[in-house]
Amino acid sequence: MGTRGVVRGQAPDALQNRGATGVAAPPREHEGNMGHEVHINIDGQDLSLPVVEGSEHEKALDIGKLRAQTGYITLDPGYVNTGACQSSICFIDGEKGILRYRGYPIEEIADQACFLETAYLLLYGELPTQSQLDGFRVSVKERAEVPSALGKLCEAVSSDAHPMSVLASMVNALSSYGRDWRKPTVEEQREKAIRDLLGKLPTVAAMAFRRSRGLDPIAPRADLPYAANFLNMMFGEVNLKVAEALDKILILHADHEQNCSTSTVRIVGSSEANLYASIAAGICALWGPLHGGANQRVIEMLETIHNSGDGPDPFVDKVKDKTSGVRLMGFGHRVYKNFDPRAKILKKACDEVLATLGIEDPLLDIAKSLEKTALEDEYFISRQLYPNVDFYSGIIYRAIGIPTNMFTVMFALGRLPGWMAHWRELHEDPARRIGRPRQIYTGPTQRKMTPIGQR
Ligand code: ACO
Q: Tens digit of pLDDT for each residue in 310-332?
A: 888 999 999 999 999 999 999 99
Shared domain for 354 and 409, answered yes or no, is no
In degrees rounded to 5, what are phi and psi of residue 273?
-65, 150
pLDDT range class, residue 60, cuts 50, 70, 90: very high
Probe ligand 1: pick from 252, 328, 370, max atoms within 8 Å of CB?
Answer: 328
* 97 within a domain of the structure (yes/no): no
Cα 195 from Cα 138, distance rounded (Å): 10
Does residue 27 have a pLDDT over 50? no
Residues 206 and 230 sit within 8 Å (Cβ to Cβ): yes
* 100 within a domain of the structure (yes/no): no
Strand partners, 38: 49
Probe ligand 1: pick from 334, 342, 375, max atoms within 8 Å of CB?
Answer: 334
Most distant CA pair in the chain, distance: 76
For strands 90-93 and 45-53, give the pairing.
Answer: unpaired
Q: Tens digit of pLDDT for each residue in 396-406?
A: 998 888 999 89
Shared domain for 266 and 313, answered yes or no, is no
Give the closest residue to 203 by CA, choosing from 178, 222, 188.
222
Residues contacting residue 237 through CB under 8 Å, at least 6 positions apart: none
Where residue 193 sits, what CATH number does that domain have?
1.10.580.10
Our CA angle for 258, 260, 262, nearest 5°, is: 55
Quick one: average pLDDT of 438-442? Answer: 97
- Taking CA atoms only, the protein residue closest to ligand 1 atom 40 is 332
Shared domain for 252 and 319, answered yes or no, is no
* 154 within a domain of the structure (yes/no): yes
Residues 37 and 48 sit within 8 Å (Cβ to Cβ): yes
Name residue 250's amino acid: L
Residue 339 Cα, ligand 1 centroid: separation in angstroms?
14
Cα 437 from Cα 342, distance rounded (Å): 32
Shared domain for 51 and 155, answered yes or no, is no
Confirm or reject: Cβ of 330 under 6 Å from ligand 1.
yes
This prediction has a pTM of: 0.88
Atom of ligand 1 nearest to the CA of 331: 7
Contacts from 101-104 at CB under 8 Å and sequence distance 24+?
101/254, 101/255, 102/126
Residue 380 Cα, ligand 1 centroid: separation in angstroms?
10
Cα 153 from Cα 169, distance rounded (Å): 8
Shared domain for 216 and 248, answered yes or no, is yes
pLDDT mean across residues, the chain: 89
What amino acid positions are annotated as catalytic residues?
Answer: 333, 390
Confirm or reject: Cβ of 329 under 6 Å from ligand 1.
yes
Residue 354 Cα, ligand 1 centroid: separation in angstroms?
29
Does residue 350 have a pLDDT over 80? yes
Between 60 and 375, the higher pLDDT residue: 60
* pLDDT (0 to 100) of residue 418: 98
State which of 381, 399, 417 marks the end of a domain. Answer: 399
Residues 208 and 170 sit within 8 Å (Cβ to Cβ): yes
Number of domains in the chain: 3
In degrees rounded to 5, what are phi and psi of residue 77?
-55, 135
Shared domain for 363 and 409, answered yes or no, is no
Residue 345 Cα, ligand 1 centroid: separation in angstroms?
21
Atom of ligand 1 nearest to the CA of 319: 2
Q: Which domain holds residue 250?
A: 140-287+405-428
